[in-house]
Structure 1
């Protein structure tokens, strides 16, 4: 799996998960439980991961949705 985005913004993470689900692209939110360590302050970013073979399609979807600035490793 590769990192698609890394952010502290729960709304963006939810939006990306929804976009991937609608497109039939499996994704995984890594570091989701790290908020326990930072006291739910949102200091530690979470990462949305996708399979490497679906990364290009996932990037296109984020670009079409207007959040290309969130994409990691462009």
Structure 2
């Protein structure tokens, strides 16, 4: 799996989850439980991971949705 997005914005994470789910792209939200460490302040970012084979399709979906600025490594 590769990192597609890293953010601490819960709305962006939820939006990306919906986009990936609707497109049938397997994803994983990593570091969701890190709020225990940061005291639920939302300081530590969560990561959206996708299979390497589906990374290009996932990136295209984010670009089409208008959130290309969230893509990691651009």
Q: TM-score range by the shorter chain?
A: over 0.9
1:10-68 deviation digits (Å, cap 9, x = unpaired) = 00000000000000001000000000110110100000000000000000000000000
Provide structure 1 residue ranges, at least 5 long, that are not aligned to the other structure. none
Aligned structure 1 segments of 4 or more residues deviating by more than 6 angstroms: none
In the TM superposition, 1:1-74 aligns within 5 A as: 1-74=1-74
Provide structure 2 residue ranges, at least 5 long, that are not aligned to the other structure. none
- State the TM-score, normalizing by the size of structure 2: 0.98
- State the TM-score, normalizing by the size of structure 1: 0.98
Q: For 1:18 and 1:62, how far apart are their aligned partners in 2?
A: 11
CA RMSD of aligned residues (A): 0.5
